[in-house]
Structure 1
């Protein structure tokens, strides 16, 4: 499954800037909601929507949601599908439509956890897109929505994960609290959920080795939403170790992720970084070039990293061309673009 972030915040679960989140509110009795709720490790209760989600068929998921909503305007699963499609597409108009549907659904079906979840996640992203002032004003609503979803379906992992993400990423003045995230992890209905959330908390504290240790204790087979988070947190923890100068420690985890996700650009790119940081620039370059052909490559600073590897190998003209393309595209973090410009100047480009 493609990395969404999970855009979970990119859909189901990732910074306060990416997340849609909510707070603590009361609601229908958890036992009643849970009895007819979503399978704990899935995003959707609806099997057709779940399959489209797992296969990253976002356009088809959107069409299916729209068709369902024409016949059943308050269908919670269709509202959730509409929200997830809106987050994947990253268009403000689509997010606004999803928010309207979620609010209408909550009015008609206040015990529908999927509608509260949609409101929280989509509003979090929409508010951040409008600036910090809007995000601050919306934080309470986001927190309340996510908390309501988690209370209505306490076994549903995406809701618990999203609320934990809010607590970890929001500033304290907006309701953020590591202690509350820890409490959510302790109260998780399964050891697997607790361990994945524990790893995320370790990441927040920059305890990357502890995070990888927690994830290593998980069984090989996990429900889809837990698997998605476990792999994402393992990748991010490995990158954290690389940035901390511990590439050799990160390497085994990255090799495993590459085996498990051969179609995903992120693990292959990160393994290339780990090898390059240890002096294996030729190997790193091959992996960067390989990752450029994989899913999600557009989100990575590949031109910059390819140029650095080429420069280290003495392939000056190729490095200059790579840096020039990266700078001309204008995508990537400011620090990466500035470094590419400096390297170009040093190479006489």
Structure 2
């Protein structure tokens, strides 16, 4: 199972927690059990009975949002949500996300043509509910990533983070973490992480997003000491989440502490069995320490789960070499 799908399901569970519906217990249980096809079928049955059920459109939109071939369908569902309840901030936030993903899939001209609607959706969401962390988060993310020629602005992103301080010091700090990660301000990021506090699931996911971005930055720059400090702090803050153990294992692998790396990666797998890179790194650790049998075992698990891609082909070749 690939990374994007795992992240999608994690975020979908977050959206379930934010659901405005009051009579969707069975749908929520299906999603929590990751029976997404069954959930989609049940939701379509609800719409067949009542085509203006905004909650059904909302759930379906989120299901479509995490399937690459259904981004346009996600847009349609969230457009319907906005049409039915235009004063609901959450619906505008989700419409902005759907428009953005659909545009990315459509290429550069689609992106340029949609950027105004994407930005406008997030701005409307913030206008309707200035206290909504997710809406503010998505608007900051837009300004950090969009080129200036189409309306992106790092200064505006910073302004949004400062403004949100009026509503939540915790949320504002998380927005600054995202900004520091995007701008590769490593010392500022580490300081923000060491002082971070999280309470809600949305805050947890925002922190994970920022930490993931910063960890990737540090790996690319070979700043492993800082990466290790970030990993340790994230485990301390979120001991029930697999990410920190994954990052810690990756750092230990770089330090050639293979047994310790395997232990951390095993904890990561225990907490999230469907995240394929952990299996790959366990394979690498065993490979480097000379345990061919274990290396082959984990490499094969990685190949079976990931199925395709350049790394999969390289791993297949390595498996054959180890079998000789």
Normalising to structure 1: TM-score of the pair? 0.72
Query: In the alignment, which residue of structure 2 is the partner of 1:124?
Result: 100
Query: In the alignment, which residue of structure 2 is the partner of 1:168?
Result: 144
Shift in Å, 1:92? 2.7
* 1:65-104 equivalences in 2 (<5 Å): 69=47, 73-88=51-66, 90=67, 92-93=69-70, 95-104=71-80
Shift in Å, 1:244? 3.4
SS at match of 1:279: coil
Contact preservation (8 Å) 1:76, 1:112: no
Quick one: structure 1 residues 5 and 313, their matched pair in 2 at CA, closer, same or farther if it must change by over 3 Å? closer
Contact preservation (8 Å) 2:194, 2:233: no
Contact preservation (8 Å) 1:79, 1:114: no
Q: Find out whether 1:43 has 2:21 as its counterpart.
A: no
Contact preservation (8 Å) 2:104, 2:111: yes
Moved more, 58-67 or 280-289: 58-67
Contact preservation (8 Å) 1:98, 1:122: yes
Quick one: structure 1 residues 147 and 265, their matched pair in 2 at CA, closer, same or farther if it must change by over 3 Å? same
Distance in 2 separating the partners of 1:250 and 1:287: 15
Shift in Å, 1:125? 1.7
Query: In the alignment, which residue of structure 2 is the partner of 1:232?
Result: 209
* 1:283-294 equivalences in 2 (<5 Å): 283-294=260-271
Quick one: structure 1 residues 300 and 259, their matched pair in 2 at CA, closer, same or farther if it must change by over 3 Å? farther
Shift in Å, 1:315? 2.5
The runs of 5 or more residues in structure 2 that have no matched partner are: none
Moved more, 175-184 or 132-141: 132-141
Distance in 2 separating the partners of 1:162 and 1:179: 15
* Higher RCO, Cα 8 Å, sep 6+: 1
Larger helix share, 1 or 2: 2
1:40-98 Cα deviation digits (max 9, x unpaired): xx734456769949x8456487577556656664454443333222224x1534x4443
SS at match of 1:197: helix
Q: Cα RMSD between the aligned structures?
A: 4.0
The count of aligned residue pairs is 315
Normalising to structure 2: TM-score of the pair? 0.76
Shift in Å, 1:184? 1.3
The runs of 5 or more residues in structure 1 that have no matched partner are: 14-41
Query: In the alignment, which residue of structure 2 is the partner of 1:307?
Result: 283
Quick one: structure 1 residues 180 and 339, their matched pair in 2 at CA, closer, same or farther if it must change by over 3 Å? farther
